[in-house]
């Protein structure tokens, strides 16, 4: 049984989904682990993780549109000192995921054919986000 842990720094563009599947798969390959589980943990409260369709980029636009409408910036939030996009970013994070785990088999993530791993930036401007990738197994 081995544990392999690495922190990745990922630059995002404002309000968009960045595909990070190859970066995560590269850490799994580095770990040398063949059978196990890969845990992803994002160290932020205004960006989140999502496993979603990796084929048609329109799916990502519809996701962004839906969440922008569901959590509007023009609502009267009590927490407003960090800008109109900050509280909506917290709520969008609450509605999606801060952590994910994906089993590993034969040294690869067991993702389905249409699944990609995304880091979703919920703020108006891009940031550098820290993602901890932890692979455990044998």
Give the footprint of its own copies on residues 65-124 (CB under 8 A).
65-66, 70-71, 75, 77-79, 81, 87, 90-91, 93-103, 105, 110-115
With a CB cutoff of 8 Å and minimum separation 6, the contacts of 114 are 53, 54, 55
- State the nearest-atom distance from the C-beta of 61 to its own copies, in Å: 5
- For residues 10 and 113, is the Cβ–Cβ distance under 8 A? no
Regarding 137 and contact with its own copies (CB under 8 A), the answer is yes
Binder of its own copies out of 13, 53, 121, 126 (CB under 8 A) = 53
For residues 94, 99, 103 and 104, what is the CA-based torsion angle, rounded to 10 degrees?
Answer: 140
Regarding 30 and contact with its own copies (CB under 8 A), the answer is no
Regarding 127 and contact with its own copies (CB under 8 A), the answer is no
Interface segment toward its own copies; rule CB under 8 A; list 8-16, 21-29, 58-66: 58-66
Strands of the sheet containing 128-137, edge to edge, are: 2-11, 128-137, 36-42, 99-105, 108-109
Return the number of the residue (22 or 112) whose C-beta is nearest its own copies. 112
Per-residue CA distances from 103 to 18, 33, 52 (Å): 21, 11, 16
Regarding 11 and contact with its own copies (CB under 8 A), the answer is no
């Amino acid at each position: 049984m081995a544990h392999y842990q690495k922190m990745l720094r990922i630059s995002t563009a404002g309000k968009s989904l960045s595909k990070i599947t190859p970066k995560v798969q590269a850490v799994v390959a580095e770990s040398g682990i063949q059978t196990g589980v890969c845990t992803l943990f994002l160290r932020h409260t205004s960006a989140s993780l999502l496993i979603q369709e990796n084929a048609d980029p329109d799916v990502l636009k519809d996701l962004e549109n839906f969440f922008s409408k569901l959590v509007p910036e023009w609502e009267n939030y009590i927490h407003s000192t960090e800008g109109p996009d900050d509280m909506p970013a917290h709520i969008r994070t609450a509605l999606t995921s801060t952590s994910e785990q994906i089993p590993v088999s034969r040294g690869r993530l067991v993702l389905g054919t249409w699944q990609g791993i995304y880091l979703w930036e919920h703020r108006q401007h891009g940031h550098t986000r820290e993602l901890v990738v932890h692979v455990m197994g044998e």
